Amino acid sequence: MEQKVEKLYQSIKAINSASPEKLFDVVVDEASKILDVEICSLLLFDKDKKHLRIKSAKGLYQTIIKNTVINKGDGIVGKVAETGEPLLIENIQDYPAFEKKELETKYKTQSLLTIPIKLKNEIIGILNVNNKITGESFNEKDLHILSIFASQISHYLISKPKFSISKIFFRK
């Protein structure tokens, strides 16, 4: 656990020193480092706040990054965006909102974490991680660590002038 706390500390420092233009990539890189995962994605709502799009990712094909649009309430990511509650799934095959066809293509492990990112109590996006390099399942400690990290993303955004926030969120 100490090692994860040190990684979290270093990742928070990296977020706080990131430029707005590099923020998405830094978030994904640092979240991947904290939990030692192969796949990580950061999704943000469009202006209409009904659809989530991937803004940065690690371990996903470019076509998936470019073409993925998730409606609020659909699938795992959409449910977390709708409820605002983080989700720890220890065995993805047992989760009803999961599409079984995805299992063969991108999931080596049966576990994932999906965390909402909030700005002043409004859900603005989702941080999603899976495929721990060790092959282990995620646990409550991982959920806690990633939740702290997501709150630091919010603190970063709150500390920036409003014009920077709109530039960050609505860039392509």
Q: What is the residue-averaged pLDDT of the chain?
A: 84
Alpha-carbon distance of 58 to 142, in angstroms, equals: 18
- Provide the CATH number for the domain formed by 2-166 in this structure: 3.30.450.40
Alpha-carbon distance of 137 to 11, in angstroms, equals: 22
The pLDDT > 90 percentage for the chain reads 53
CA 155: distance to chain centroid?
A: 16
Identify the pLDDT of residue 71. Answer: 94
Identify the pLDDT of residue 75. Answer: 87
| More confident site: 98 or 133 | 133
Mean pLDDT confidence for 163-172 = 52
Q: Where are the domains of the chain?
A: 2-166
pLDDT-derived band at 47 (thresholds 50, 70, 90) equals confident
Identify the pLDDT of residue 93. Answer: 74
Identify the pLDDT of residue 167. Answer: 57
Give whichever of 13-27, 105-119, 157-171 has the largest mean pLDDT. Answer: 13-27
Would you say residue 111 has pLDDT above 50? yes
pTM score, whole prediction: 0.86
Mean pLDDT confidence for 155-168 = 63
Mean pLDDT confidence for 29-51 = 91
Best CA proximity match to 108, nearest among 72, 135, 145: 135
C-alpha separations of 53 from 13, 56, 106 in Å: 26, 9, 18
For helices 23-35 and 2-17, give the axis angle rounded to 10 degrees: 170
Establish how many alpha carbons lie within 13 A of residue 167's alpha carbon, considering only the half-sphere containing its beta carbon: 10
Q: What are phi and psi of 88, to 5 degrees?
A: -110, 120
Residue 140, helix vs strand vs coil: helix
Query: 70, 43 in Cβ contact below 8 A?
Result: yes
